[in-house]
């Protein structure tokens, strides 16, 4: 059954959004905002997006490019729109169910999020761990806080997060486009996984 997908993205990454919509054989019902809301009132725009797009979606696909970080150069615009889109996606309310979150890392962020060497050995059990720099310099807090999610499911003695302890599903663009439905399904299934009870809508 197709999932209802909302794509959250920065204007600079529009071509990637369009590639998903026009070139990938994704089994989805697209709930994305494809045309600008005819208003200059930010609260109205965000309310419109929540009511007409996000409230009826089940997975939010966040495109993570080099303009998607929490901390940006002072001359760049802030992140209020994508932050509030992810907050609304995580929120469980009367007219809103929690979305699964799929963060797709775009090629211009590979070196920032996966700097070499990108594996290490865990001191906990010797497992090979893939290292990622998911923090305020690479993503918004709503992504990082729900990827490195403090919860009873995460063993405090363990020095790495397992998949069960993460709510956000993160994947590189090159891998995503090979099998988009696989990763969308993974994000969708997080909605009913035990970790879904511990998500942080408004992380500090």
Domain count, the chain: 1
**% of the chain at pLDDT higher than 70:** 97
Q: CA-CA distance, 109 to 105, in Å (whole number)?
A: 6
In this structure, is residue 85 part of a structural domain?
yes
Q: Which of 166, 59, 177, 167 is nearest to 107 (CA)?
A: 177
pLDDT digits (tens, 9 = 90+) for 152-177: 988 888 889 999 999 999 999 999 99
Please check the confidence at residue 3 and state whether its pLDDT lies above 90. Answer: yes
Please check the confidence at residue 75 and state whether its pLDDT lies above 60. Answer: no
Q: Looking at residue 48, what is its pLDDT?
A: 76
Give the mean model confidence (pLDDT) for residues 47-67. Answer: 87
Task: Tell me the average pLDDT of the chain.
Answer: 90
Q: Which of 108, 17, 88 is nearest to 48 (CA)?
A: 88
In this structure, is residue 140 part of a structural domain?
yes
With bands split at pLDDT 50, 70 and 90, how would you rate the model's confidence at 73?
low
Give the mean model confidence (pLDDT) for residues 118-134. Answer: 91
pLDDT digits (tens, 9 = 90+) for 19-37: 999 999 898 998 887 776 7
CA distances for 120 relative to 73, 128, 131, angstroms: 31, 6, 7
**CATH number, position 90:** 3.40.50
CA distances for 34 relative to 37, 128, 133, 181, angstroms: 9, 41, 31, 21
**% of the chain at pLDDT higher than 90:** 63
In this structure, is residue 203 part of a structural domain?
no
Domain range for 59 is 3-198
pLDDT digits (tens, 9 = 90+) for 91-120: 987 777 899 999 999 999 999 999 888 899
Q: Looking at residue 191, what is its pLDDT?
A: 96
Location of structure tokens 């909302």: 6
In this structure, is residue 204 part of a structural domain?
no
pTM, two decimal places = 0.91
**93 vs 178, higher pLDDT:** 178
């Amino acid at each position: 059954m197709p999932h209802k997908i909302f794509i959250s993205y920065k204007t600079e990454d529009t071509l990637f959004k369009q590639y998903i919509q026009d070139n990938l054989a994704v089994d989805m019902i697209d709930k994305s905002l494809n045309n600008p809301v005819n208003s200059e009132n930010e609260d109205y725009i965000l309310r419109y997006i929540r009511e007409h797009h996000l409230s009826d979606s089940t997975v939010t696909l966040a495109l993570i490019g080099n303009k998607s970080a929490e901390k940006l150069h002072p001359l760049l615009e802030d992140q209020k729109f994508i932050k509030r889109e992810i907050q609304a996606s995580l929120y469980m309310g009367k007219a809103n169910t929690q979305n699964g979150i799929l963060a797709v890392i775009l090629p211009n962020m590979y070196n920032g999020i996966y700097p070499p060497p990108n594996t290490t050995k865990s001191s906990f059990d010797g497992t090979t761990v893939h290292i990622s720099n998911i923090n305020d310099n690479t993503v918004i807090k709503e992504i990082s806080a729900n990827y490195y999610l403090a919860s009873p499911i995460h063993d405090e003695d363990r020095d790495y997060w397992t998949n069960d302890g993460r709510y956000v599903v993160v994947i590189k663009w090159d891998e995503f486009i090979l099998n988009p439905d696989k990763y969308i399904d993974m994000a969708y299934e997080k909605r009913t996984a035990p970790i879904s009870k511990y998500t942080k809508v408004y992380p500090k």
